[in-house]
Structure 1
Amino acid sequence: MYWLSRHRLQLLTVLVMVTGTVLCAVAAGHYAWRRALGTESAQVQRQLQLYGQGLQQRIDRFGTLPQVMALDPDLLHALQVPPSPAERQRLNLKLQRANQVTRTSTLTLVGRDGVAVAASNWDQPTSNVGEDYSYRPYYQQALAHGRGRFYGIGMTTGVPGYFMSEAILDADSQRIGVIVIKIELSALEQEWLNSPDVVLTSDNHDVVFLANRDAWRYRLLRPLGAEERNEMRAARQYADRSLQPLRVRTEDVLADGGRMVRLLDPPLPQAMLWQTLALPDEDWSLHLLHDASAATSAGRGAAVAGAAAWLALGFLVLFVQQRRRLSKHRQRSRRELETLLKQHAQELRTAQDGLLEAATDADVGLSRSLEHLPQGVVVIDKEQRLVAWNSRYLELFRFPAGLVRVGRPIEELFRFNARRGLLGPGPIDEAIERRLTHLRSGRPHMRESEKDDGTVLEIRGNPLPDGGFVTSYADITSYKNAARELRSLADALEHRVAERTQDLDEARREAEQANRYKTRFVASAVHDLLQPLNAARMFVSVLRGKLSDPAQQQTSDHIDAALAAQDAILNSLLDISRLESGSLQVRVRAFALSPLLETLAREFGIAAQSRGLQLDWVDTHAVVVSDEALLRRILQNFLSNALRYTPRGRVLIGCRRTGDQLRIEVHDQGPGIPESLQGEIFEEFRRLNDGVEQERGAGLGLAIVERIGRLLGHRISLRSTLGKGSVFAVSVALGRADEVIAPPAAPVIATEPSDDSPLRQCRVWSIDDDPHVCAATRALLERWGCHVELADGPQGALEIASALNVPQLLLLDVRMGQWHGPDLYEALCTLWQARPPVILVTAERDDALKAHAAENGWGFLLKPVRPPALRALMTQLLLRHRG
């Protein structure tokens, strides 16, 4: 009882503070939660209206289609007169074309008896043709009222969709059949996937048939009656789908009709805000479940703020009361302190007398206050006489007994140490005087001194306020030894680092040299491989001209295609070698992108049609800054892969602006690329296994794309979805239209030589160190009517060359053993005393050599040579030379 009476005021204060804090927290939290919940509910209603508009617009887009189709005379005729098989087929094709244009799911013509007469999916295994749909509500509604609407699962296709029907009237306005369109709304569910909320659509039976989460689809929002179940069973609306109930518990109802609910099945961990929007045109309801944890968080924050405000107010009141009490305590304490001070003053005078006596006694011995220090310490007064020291000072200098005492001049200790050699070399008097002068100056100092036994002392001196001096002596021998060892270790590490750096430089030089050897080896190997390939393609061209049997010509085409594929692989290897060695020259300039896209679309469009695919492209007015030839290589590889891995559907190439960049994209509808393989496909010889088997590449295209993109500074990107397709893209800098330089005119491609062609009876020399290439070139040129005077190596050409047999045209290889093509040409021109036109035919992709040929007006072709290109270039050079 005594304790309670004593602390009654404190307990009452704590009770008021706790009770007020709880009440303020609850009131503020509830108010803020309600306010935030109302704001979120209004936002959810707006979002729900947007979803409803999107759903209604998708349906309205096809709303007039059944009415238009019902006016088609062909459909009316097919219902009036049973169509023949040919007429039925034409009708199926017409519905199929209309379906492709309108992009619906299916179009079906149903007769008066409810049996489908024709359908757009006539060629599918799940064709509607011949099926009985008389039990479907959309059919019954159309015959009864002229039109019908119904959502359900297709009994033939098994795909859910929204059916819209329109009755077809004869001349007497009698309903003799129905045209039905089906649109799939699954795309809406895909769009709703981007929403963090749960979006549902239910029919007039409160069955959820659209949802952005699979677990919510085909759920019952309320129990169904027996009549409703019979109606749905007769219409087979949801086929064999199991309709599970949606278990939900309502916790609160808002003023605007929204509800706070707790989902039990399918379960959700948090309470949800449920809003519903009616769609009267379709007799549907659109629902949106929103996570209301933000409102709960706002309520918690407001509760904390309310509690903090109450506590702050309470503490302010307590603080004011405490200040008043403290003011009274100070006045009382001041009086008590005055009394204590008088007592302490007397005690201090008594203690001072004792200290004076103790100081007098200390003059004859060591200073106890300095004994705890690890350094040796000595104190002198302004007369340079000893005042105090510690035992460590005596140990360091090993003074004899009786030498160190109070009042002895410090000069005597200096002189004693000097006789032992502790003051260093030189005259003793000068060393002593130098130290005494420093002590008289009163300046602080620090230095190191090493004794004969290797001990290193750190000496620090500081003046005292009364003119004396205190000096400390610290033994730092171990520290100095460790520093010397660290310095030695650092020198050793520095030496090892220098050795390793030298080894790394040597390894880098060896790696660079090996890379140069590899590049030269690849170039030489590709050159040697292209020689027989060049000869083979020429022989095939000659052979095809002599074949009349179509089967044999087709075999010849297959051989040429195989050689072309081998040519592409070798060229890709050579391109990779040039990109890695840095020898590929880049010509970056501003140019209009539209002509490049149009050319690619035209070239690859033919290949797409041959595979049954559709290649679309989107025109652009953009100007980009890049190397046009290398950018073409990137897009060609993208398109080639897209056609190779798209079994059916379409391929699209187009552009998107992203800031100061233009992203050129190629979309396909292939099988997609797993995320685990998206990084590997840009490596050499990496291929996926789901392309067209007979057209699988070597796995070098994307490796070249990645290196070209890195060389040009273009970002290569990929996004892919399994089962839907992939998008390859390259980002290029945008340019200005005034920076565009017109490209040179394209050379004229010559046709097959006619009787008056410049190639007829043209005297041609072909110089190559490969006999097979010489033989193939001779056969090809003679087929074109040329007179081949020489088809041999460099030595044979030099032996017969003279002013009497100057050719009209020279085909010249570049690398021929010790001979270089341009050097051999100069030697032959000296023997001919003339300079006939020349075409350099080489496997070396050397930009400098190509530029040299252009400066001199020479032709330039890369091996393996395509006969049409060689024929065109020969015709062009002969016409130019004659002119």
Structure 2
Amino acid sequence: MIDPSEPYEVQIAKQAKIIEALINRAERGHEVGSTAYSLFQSAIALQAEVWEKTKDLEKALDTLGRASSELEIAYQAQERIQRNLADAMVAMEGGFALFSEDRLQVCNAQFRRLLPDLEPLLKPGLAFDDYLAAVNTSRYLVQTSGERDATRSRVVAPASGPVGARFSSFVMELRNDRWFQISYRQTSSDNIAVLQTEITDLVRENRREKDRLIDQQAHLLQAAFDHMALGVCTFSSAGELLIHNERFGELLGIPLPLLKKGTRFQRLVEHLERHEILGRTSRRKDLAGWFKALARGETVQQRFRRRDGMSLDLRLHALPDDGFLVSIMDVTAETEAAALLERRVQERTAELTEVNRLLQIHAAEQTKIEGDLRLAKEAAEAAHTSKTRFLAAASHDLLQPINAAKLYLSMLTETVEQPGAREVVSRLNRSFTSIETLLQALLDISRLDSAGAEFNVTSFSLGSLLQGIAEDLAPLAAEKGIDLTIVPSTRWVTSDQRYLMRSVQNLVVNAIQYTERGRVLVGCRLAGGRLRIEVWDTGIGISEKDQARVFKEFTRAGGGKGTGMGLGLSIVERACRHLDHPVRLVSRPGHGSMFSIEVPLAVPGPDSAFENPAVEAMPEGNLDLIVLIVENDADELHAMTQKLESWGASVLAAASTAEAVALMQEIGTPPDILLADYQLDEDDNGIETIRTLRALAGVEIPAVIISANRQREFLRLGNEMSFAVLTKPVQLVRLRALIDWKTRSRVA
């Protein structure tokens, strides 16, 4: 029946009504009548209810009393805050107003008196936008167009945004040279506080300081003008003199009465013309052209010479206010220097012209010399190319008879029994071996010196290379009583197999030749990502002065001891330089030497298809095979036939591919192996012979090419067509081993 949230006055009134209704009900029950006992019982119940309601009423009255006290305290605090705010507003030097919910709540007297025509509007409830609009239309603001427009542009309503994020400030000029700054800011309670601050004294002080600085700068500028070596004078847009310095009058010889403010520029020109101060070159008719140029924004410059010989440089510059500035400078020293420079330039030009003429003559002579040198170079290159082609072409013809002679000597060695004859044959063998070695060295140097030197760089194992060197040079070491030890290696390297073998072989031969007793050791040592092949000997050693020249042609260490022509180390240096294999020499005279070649390591892989098999001792027993030989040199063909037949082979000899085809068709079966010279008569060659016979037989006949050709393309074809390569002169031990290796599968 009673809502606790209602005011206490309302709750008390309702409780009073309830009590009154209960009393009336009790009285009416007594009048109706009943037994004395029931009346007594009703009175007791009514009394209990009255006591309960009385307690509730007391509590409500107590609560109402406390609320009234708190309300009284709040009223007193509000009055105190309002008095403090009023005191603060009265004490403020400037105007202050507070807008709540964009409506004026309170302002002080200074705020009202700033603009008297706005005072009737400044009442509580005035909208903030209306206040700003009224400020913009106040008649107490200065009505000058620029300042008025600026004021209107600044007095604007605050933009909507977050609380406390709106702020504006602007300056207003009032009549009687009074200045105010009005600023407003949005407070944290979303109210707007407006402040009016008079800044008249500050503006006037700034103005006085500005005038003082302008005057000071004017004095400084005039002092600078007066001390300048350059004469300066400014004129207004009407051509009237404004300011000048003393130097201007001194340079032009103009009297001081003429150099007063307001003197027209034309009058100064007339004075100069009348007294011919600038000679006869200054004429009034030039003025029109000068002013037209200034109107176009150009700078007028003209040079004059005074009667006393002084040179003056006159310049006219346009100014932003349509006036112009005249500057004049003494350029006598510059003019004389320019004249002197011009004379010197003319003299120097004449000297340079003569030098240029001599240089042209020299250049013509130089061109002729260069032409002669070019022709000589071309002739030398042609001769070198011709020499290279000649050596390449002659190698086959030179090696053919050597190969045939070695075959005949081999047969003589086996057939001659008389001691004297065997000695002669042995000497002949050594002589042909020396010829072969020298010829191979010359051919190697020719190939390495040619511009188109070819290298077949592959990855291969050093095992067969070192084993081949050991077998080739063991007889030479045994003949001198030298202990030759070659440590086997299974490492794989990347290089040109033929040139690397040739280089190591030359180092070992060199070590054997210059070692009288002791041993020669060949081994490999790891050096980072490379492998160092080292050749050690206990020979005579090489002195320090000879170490720098032993790699040159026809150079031998040890005072000329040893055999050979001194080409071995030269070939090593050339080959390793082309292959980027560092060569190192360490030697002590009387103790021996160590030569090394560093080569890159490679990943192990399968052996190359054309790599020669490991060579063992000359096999014994008959060579029970049908061997087809194709060779265009009759002597070599006969010698090779005799040698193979002495091994027990059945030999078919042919001079061309056509004869080989006829022989194979005649016997009706392909040979067990084909030995063919690469270079045959006319356009015929050994590769064509292999291709033709294999096509005719329908099987891959084992084949060996015997030639002096070592070009990369030739070796690539051998790899593709599966034929082996033997270089001339042929080593019979290798030939026999190669035949056994190529025919092993057929024999099996």
Return closer, same or farther for 1:544/1:387 CA change in 2, 3 Å cut-off.
Answer: farther
Q: Cα deviations across residues 537-591 of structure 1 (Å, max 9, x unaligned)?
A: 1111222232345664454344323322221221122222222225554354566
Matches within 5 A, 1:541-580: 541-549=410-418, 552-553=421-422, 555-580=424-449
Letter in 2 for 1:715: P
Q: Which position in structure 1 is the counterpart of 2:293?
A: 437
Code of the aligned partner of 1:758: D
CA contact (8 A) 2:402 2:432 kept: yes
Q: Deviations over 1:286-318 (max 9, x none)?
A: xxxxxxxxxxxxxxxxxxxxxxxxxxxxxxxxx
SS at match of 1:568: helix
Q: Is 1:726 equivalent to 2:616 in the alignment?
A: no
Consecutive unaligned residues in structure 2, runs of 5 or more: 1-225, 227-244, 256-264, 304-310, 318-323
Structure whose alpha-carbon radius of gyration is higher: 2
What does 1:759-798 correspond to in 2, within 5 Å? 759=625, 762=626, 764-792=627-655
Map 1:731-770 → 2, pairs under 5 A: 731-733=598-600, 735=601, 739-744=603-608, 747=613, 752=619, 754-755=621-622, 757-759=623-625, 762=626, 764-770=627-633
| Structure 1 counterpart SS, 2:550 | helix
Q: Deviations over 1:798-823 (max 9, x none)?
A: 88885666662443322234233147
Where 2:621 maps in the other structure, the secondary structure is coil
Structure 1 counterpart of 2:676, one-letter code: L
Tell me how far apart the structure 1 counterparts of residues 312 and 550 of structure 2 sit (CA, whole Å): 72
* Partner in structure 1 of residue 100 of structure 2: none
State whether structure 2 residue 398 is matched by structure 1 residue 529: yes
- Which residue, out of 696, 715, 725, partners 2:582? 715
In the alignment, what sits opposite 1:856?
Answer: 721
What is the correspondence of 1:66-85 to structure 2 with a 5 Å cutoff? Answer: none
Give the drift of 1:826.
7.2
What letter corresponds to residue 642 of structure 2 in structure 1? A
Shift of 1:691: 6.9
Distance of 2:597 and 2:271 partners within structure 1: 88
Q: Point out where structure 1 has 5 or more consecutive residues left out of the alignment.
A: 1-347, 349-354, 366-380, 389-401, 416-428, 448-457
Structure 1 residues 404 and 678, CA gap change in structure 2 (3 angstroms) = farther
TM-fit CA distance, 1:644: 1.0
Counterpart pick for 2:276 among 405, 424, 428: 405
CA apart distance, 1:643: 1.5
Partner of 2:518: 649
CA contact (8 A) 2:312 2:328 kept: no
Following the alignment from structure 1 to structure 2, what is the Cα–Cα distance between the partners of residues 491 and 849? 54
Paired with 1:827 and 1:583, the residues of 2 have a C-alpha distance of 29
Secondary structure in structure 2 of the residue aligned to 1:840: strand
**1:11-50 residue CA offsets vs partner (Å, 9 max, x unmatched):** xxxxxxxxxxxxxxxxxxxxxxxxxxxxxxxxxxxxxxxx
**In structure 2, the residue corresponding to 1:860 is in which secondary structure?**
strand
How many Å separate the matches in 2 of 1:477 and 1:637?
Answer: 75
Matched, 1:683 2:560: no
TM-score w.r.t. the length of structure 2 is 0.51
| Residues matched between the structures, number | 469
Query: What SS does the aligned partner of 1:523 have?
Result: helix
Q: 1:790 to 1:482 in 2, by over 3 A?
A: same
User: What SS is found at the alignment partner of 1:782?
Assistant: helix
Per the alignment, residue 468 of structure 1 pairs with 327
CA distance 1:446–1:673, change in 2 (3 Å): farther
The aligned counterpart of 1:539 is 408
Shift of the 528–616 alpha-carbon distance from structure 1 to 2, 3 Å rule, reads: closer
Q: What amino acid is the match of 2:345? A: Y
The one of 470, 489, 509 equivalent to 1:640 is: 509
**Contact kept in structure 2, 1:652 and 1:668, CA below 8 Å:** yes
CA drift at 1:702: 0.5
- Contact conserved, 2:407 with 2:639, CA < 8 A, in 1? yes
> How many Å separate the matches in 1 of 2:280 and 2:300?
20
**2:730 corresponding residue in structure 1:** 865
Distance 1:386 1:669, change over 3 A: farther
* Structure 1 residue 658, shift from structure 2 partner: 6.0
Per the alignment, residue 843 of structure 1 pairs with: 708
Displacement of 1:703: 0.9
Q: Aligned AA for 2:276?
A: R
Change (3 A) 1:643 1:826: closer
Query: Does the residue aligned with 1:633 lie in a helix, a strand or coil?
Result: helix
Aligned counterparts of 1:387 and 1:655: Cα–Cα separation in 2? 106
Rounded to whole Å, the distance in 1 between the matches of 2:271 and 2:744 is 119
Match 1:630 to one of 491, 495, 499: 499
Q: Secondary structure at the match of 1:572?
A: helix
Local SS of the residue matching 1:785: coil
- Whole-angstrom distance in 2 between the partners of 1:602 and 1:838: 24
Residues 795/611 of structure 1: CA separation in 2 closer, same or farther (3 Å cut): same
Compute the displacement of 1:686 (Å): 2.3
Out of 340, 345, 351, the residue aligned to residue 479 of structure 1 is: 345
CA separation in 2, counterparts of 1:502 and 1:413?
68
Q: Is the 8 A contact 2:468 2:614 kept in 1?
A: no
